[in-house]
């Protein structure tokens, strides 16, 4: 099978804290009458599968294609899945629940879950918007557990003001959440293991709080992770960790970027547009809001018809 650029068809996730900004900013054709919190652009999880939107694989799930052509797509000998990245857009119109994701050692110790490390690229931020990233200096497990019992966890969180164009790295074990008024692009390891530790004392229409995962969260949190240990980047290589790398690119109208074979790339287009060309594949157009997987066995070029900003995620 000849490899070609794989455009994704997203899986939209309604959330009570979501909105409609993916349509307004990224041109997403959102379902009517729903507040969409997450758009799973590239996903190969039991909890959800994105599909291929173009070419010979059109309409097939990413997972089914990766399991048949894993080596050709990823470049890794004998690779059979799952796809090693999860890419999302997130529209947070309200503050999300405070949560933590486990690292590999915690998953082994508890006998469940899957490591989850992520990064957030800020696309839009309303004035005064913040994220909560880590804990204040000196917070211990005992103090944090007491705050959970008392409903005062918010007092121990590190609130970090954010600006458009910033990338925030959130490794496994860091307590975190998005504040209100943010639209972000997220790249992460392929996991949906989330332990909710605090939900701002909210209740639903029936007066019931959402489910929390207190014991799992307390076992997963790295209490020494404060914001000063979590750098913020804005240009060039934004993230370089053991699980993935993310680079920020910008090209002007009329520019071109060669795509050499041998490296799988997942492209996240934030603005602009253009076309991916190759002698052996049909042209693949892209625009703001699109995500495209460039298989390791593909060779071609991106030509830009507009000024374009994009992220490139690699392994």
CA atoms of 220 and 150, how far apart (whole Å) = 20
The answer to whether 149 is a known catalytic residue is no
| Count of Cβ atoms closer than 10 Å to residue 218 Cβ | 17
203, with CB counted inside 10 A (0-12, 13-18, 19+), is: exposed
- Residue 82, preceding bond cis, omega within 30 degrees? yes
Instruction: Name the H helices within 48-103.
Output: 62-74
Give which of 313, 269, 306, 312 is closest to 289, Cα–Cα.
269
CA atoms of 93 and 140, how far apart (whole Å) = 31
Burial 147-181 (b: 16+ CB within 10 A, else e): bbeeeebeebbbebebeeebbbbbbbbbbbbbbeb
Give which of 182, 8, 195 is closest to 86, Cα–Cα.
8
CA atoms of 113 and 291, how far apart (whole Å) = 27
DSSP 96: P
Please pick, among 196, 237, 297, 303, the residue that the annotation labels catalytic: 196
Helix (H) or strand (E) holding 266: strand 265-269
Who contacts 103 (Cβ-Cβ below 8 Å, separation ≥6)? 115, 117, 171, 172, 173, 220, 222
Instruction: Name the H helices within the chain.
Output: 21-26, 62-74, 104-110, 141-150, 214-220
The number of helix segments (H) and strand segments (E) in the chain equals: 5, 25
What are the residue numbers of the active site? Answer: 196
């Amino acid at each position: 099978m000849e490899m070609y650029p794989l455009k994704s068809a997203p899986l939209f996730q309604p959330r009570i804290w979501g909105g409609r900004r993916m349509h307004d900013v990224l041109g997403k054709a959102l379902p009517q009458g729903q507040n969409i919190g997450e758009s799973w652009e590239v996903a190969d999880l039991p909890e959800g599968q994105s599909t291929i939107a173009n070419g010979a694989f059109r309409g097939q799930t990413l997972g089914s294609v990766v399991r048949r052509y894993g080596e050709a797509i990823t470049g890794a000998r004998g690779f059979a899945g799952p796809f090693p990245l999860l890419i999302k857009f997130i529209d947070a119109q309200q503050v999300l629940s405070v949560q933590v994701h486990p690292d590999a050692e915690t998953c082994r110790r508890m006998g469940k879950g899957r490591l989850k490390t992520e990064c957030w690229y800020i696309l839009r931020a309303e004035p005064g918007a913040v994220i909560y990233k880590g804990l204040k200096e000196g917070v211990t497990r005992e103090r944090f557990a007491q705050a959970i019992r008392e409903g005062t966890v918010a007092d121990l969180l590190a609130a970090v003001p954010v600006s458009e164009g910033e990338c925030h790295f959130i490794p496994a074990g860091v307590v975190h959440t998005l504040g209100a008024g943010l639209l972000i692009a997220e790249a992460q390891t392929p996991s949906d293991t989330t332990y909710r530790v605090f939900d701002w004392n909210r209740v639903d229409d029936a007066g019931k709080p959402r489910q929390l995962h207190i014991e799992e969260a307390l076992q997963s949190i790295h209490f020494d992770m404060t914001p000063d240990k979590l750098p913020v980047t804005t240009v060039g290589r934004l993230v370089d960790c053991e699980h993935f790398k993310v680079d920020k690119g910008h090209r002007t109208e009329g520019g071109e970027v060669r795509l050499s074979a041998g490296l799988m790339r997942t492209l996240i287009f934030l603005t602009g547009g253009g076309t991916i060309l190759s002698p052996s594949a049909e042209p693949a157009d892209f625009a703001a809001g699109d995500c495209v997987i460039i298989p390791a066995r593909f060779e071609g070029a991106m030509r830009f018809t507009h000024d374009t900003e994009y992220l490139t995620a690699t392994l």
